[in-house]
Structure 1
Amino acid sequence: MTTVSVYVDYAATTPIDKEILETILSSSEYFGNPSSIHQEGKRAKAYFEKNRRNIASAIGAEPEEIIITSGATEANNMAIRGIAAGNDTPHIITTEIEHASVLSTIELLEQEGKCTVTYLSADESGLISPDELKSALTDKTVLVSIVLVNNETGVVQPMYDIQDVLSDHPAYLHVDAVQAVGHMEIDVNDLKIDFLSLSGHKIYGPKGIGALYHRSGIHLKALTTGGDQEKSRRAGTENIQWTEGLSLALTKVRDNLTERTLKEMQLKELFLTELTASEVPFEVNGDVNQMSSHIINLHFPWTASEFLLTALDMAGVYASGGSACHAGTVQPSHVIKAMYDDERAGHSIRFSFSHLMSEDDIKQIAASLKEIYTRLYESKMI
C-alpha cells in the first residue's frame, strides 16, 4: 500500500499559494527599473509603492516605515546592526530563545566588541520575565530584541508587559514577528514596536522576500549602500514581483485570519487528543495555554529526536527537530535547552500545522508515532 505523505513543518516554510504565484507571473509586465525617470520606470514604481502601502496597512504602519528586504534574516540583521552601529558602546538586551538570525548576529557583535549584551532566560513555560528585563536595563541600553512567537515552541511572549517595562526607557523595541504574522492580529502602534521583521515564505508567499518595519524618526544606519532605494536605507534594484507576492500573502492573511487560526487550533487539539488516546508517552514543551495556533513542541522521553525524525520520515511524516536555520542538520534545540536541559532538547520534536491540513493528516501522524513507539517497546529497545 502506498503511504500518503504528511507535511507538518509549516513553521519552517509554507508552499506558495498558487493564486499568488499566478498573480506574480502576470505582474511581470511591470519590468521597468523603479529608479528610472521614463514612463516604464514610473509605472513600475507606482506598482511597487502600491504593494508597499498594502504591506504597511497589514501591520498598522505607514508606507514610508516599510523597508523591503530579502527576508526576515536580513530584516533582523538590519535592525540590530543598524542600531548598534549608530551608538557608542551600546548595550543590547535579547533572550536565550531567539531565532539564530537574531542570536548569532548579536553574539558576533558582542565578540567583535561592538556592544555588550544581556541574555534574558526563559522558564519552563517558555516565557521571559518582565521583571528580569526591567533589572537588565541600563542607561546604555539602546535595543531590546524579543521574538513575539517562538519559532520552536510557539510560545507567545507577554508583549504588553514588556512595553510597560520599556515605557519610561529610551531603548528601542525590535520584534521578530515571523511566526506571529498570519496567526494573530498585529498592530505595531498597539504593541508600541519600533522595529518588526516579517517574511513572505512563512505565509504562503515566495521565498526571498520580507520586510522590516522601521518606526519613523528613528535613525537606522544602512548596511547596504550604493543607491538611494528604500529612502537610502537599503540599496539595490527593487524586487517588484516578489513584493507583489508578499503583499498578496498579507492580504490573504488579513482576510482569512480567524478561519485559518481556528482550523489550526482544532488540528492541534485533535493531535494532542489522538496522541493521548494512543498512549504514546509525551510531554508538551512550554505552556500550551500561551502558544500560537500553529506550533506544538513535544518531548518524547523514550527515543532521541534524530531517530524519531528519521523513523517519521520513512513513514511519510515530515516534522522537525526545531529551527530549520541549520541547513541539513539535526541539532538539539537551543530553545528547549534554555527552557529545560540538554537531555530534553535531544528528545523533542516540533510539529507545525496549517489550515491546509486535514483531520486525516493528524490521525496519520498520531498513528505513525504509535507504530514507532510500539515497535521499539516490543523489541525491548525502550
Structure 2
Amino acid sequence: MSKSGRVFITGYGIITSIGKNAEENLQSLVDQRHGYGDIDILKTAHSHDLRCCEIKITDEELRRLSGGTGSGLTRTTLLGLTALREAVHHAGLSAQDLTKSGLLSSTTTGGIREFEHDFFNILDLERHGDFEQFADTAIPGDHSERLASQVGIHNYVATLSTACSSAANAIMQGAALIRSGRLECALCGGSEALSKFTINGFNALMILDNEHCRPFDATRRGLNLGEGAAYLVLESEARVERLKKKPLAVLAGAGNANDAYHPTASSPDGTGALKAMRLALSHGGVDAADVNYVNAHGTATENNDLSEGTGLKRLFADNLPPFNSTKPYTGHTLAAAGSIEAVYSILALQHGMVWPSLNFNTPIPELGIRPVTKLERNMSIRNVLSNSFGFGGNTSSLLISAV
C-alpha cells in the first residue's frame, strides 16, 4: 500500500460487560475480570440457566450515560451512542468535523429487544401508546440513522449486517471509502443488545454453553452471548498531516472471504479463515512472520475453534504467534465483536500486553495449539491480526499496526 493510501486510527470508544469505557475495559482485561453471570436486566425465562455477559446498566441509566435525547432510542442505539461519543471525544472531533464524516455501523438484530416486548401492541392497529416509538426499530438500519442524528452526521450513513463479521466489515468498508477519496473521516463499528430472540435462536442451534465458555479447549461446548458496542475513528493520512494529529495506530490491511461451506458452520479445513488472514496480510504488505499477536474469533464452539485453529496453523505453521480469545470476558457480542476486539487489539499495541484466554486447560487434540494463558507484559507488538468470522462462512481479518 502506498503512503498516500494509509488509513489511521485516531480514536475509539467502547462499552461491554467489563467496562463502560476504554479505561475500564483495559483494567478488567489486566485484572482478568469477566462479565459472565446471570441475566438481570433483560427479562427472560433463561436468566439463570443460559448465563450471558450482560451490561449491568438499565436503559434509563444508559440514556443518561450516552446523552441520548428523543424517542425511539433502543438499548442497541444507547449502547452504540455511549461508545460513539467516547470515540468522538477521544479523536478530538468537532461538531463541524462530524458534519463532514461518515458513519458505518453494524448490528444483527437492531432494536428487536424492544420490538419483541411490544410486538402484540404494535400488531393491534387500534391500540396507541409509547410503544409506537419502537415500531420500526427491528430494522437493522434504524439504529444507524438514530446514532447519526444524535451526533450530527448526515454526510454518509450505512449499516452492515454480515453476522459476527459485521463490525470488522464496517471498519473495512470505512477504510475503503477513505482510500477512494469519498471520505476523510469515518466512524466505524457496531452495537448489539441481548434479546430473547437472540438467546432463544442460539439456544435452538444448540451452540450455547450453560457454563463459562472455554475457547480452544478440548472440553469446549459452546459460546456465551454478550452485549456491547465499540467504534473506531478512521482518518485519511492527508487529514492527519494537515491537522497535525497524532494517530494511535494504522489500519494497515483487511481481508474478507466467504468459504460458502454451510449456512452456519465454518469449513473444517479453515479455508475461509486462512483466506481472510492472507488477504489482510497481503493488503498491508506484511509477512506472516511479522505478526506479533492474533486476537482470534475464538467463540468456543466445537466447529469454529477447530476451523479457525486449522487456519492459523496453515498460515503460521510452527511459528504461531501469541494468540487469545477475549470472548470469555465479554461474551460473543455478535455484530459488535469485530470492533470491540479491534479496540482490544489497539490496546495491546499501545500497552505491549496480551491478555490470557480464560478457562483454557487442554489443547484440541487435532491442533495441539495453546492460547496465551497468563498476562503477558512488555511485549514488542507491531502488527496484530484481529479475526471476526460470521455465519455463512463470512470471514474477516483486520491487520492493525503500530504507527
- State the TM-score, normalized to the length of structure 1: 0.27
Higher alpha-carbon Rg: 1
